Amino acid sequence: MITVKLPGKAEKLLAVMAKASGRTTDQVVTEAVLEAIEDWQDAKIADERLKEDDGVRIPLEEVMRKLELREAEERHTKPAAERTGASSSRHVP
Q: How far is CA 65 from CA 4, 60, 73, in A?
A: 55, 9, 12
Is residue 29 a contact partner of residue 6, using CB atoms and an 8 Å limit? no
Q: What is the CA angle 22-25-27, rounded to 5?
A: 75
Taking only the tens of pLDDT, the chain with its 93 residues reads 899 999 999 999 999 999 999 999 999 999 999 999 999 999 999 999 999 988 889 999 999 999 998 898 888 887 766 656 655 555 555
Comparing CA positions, the residue from 28, 36, 35, 1 lying closest to residue 12 is 28
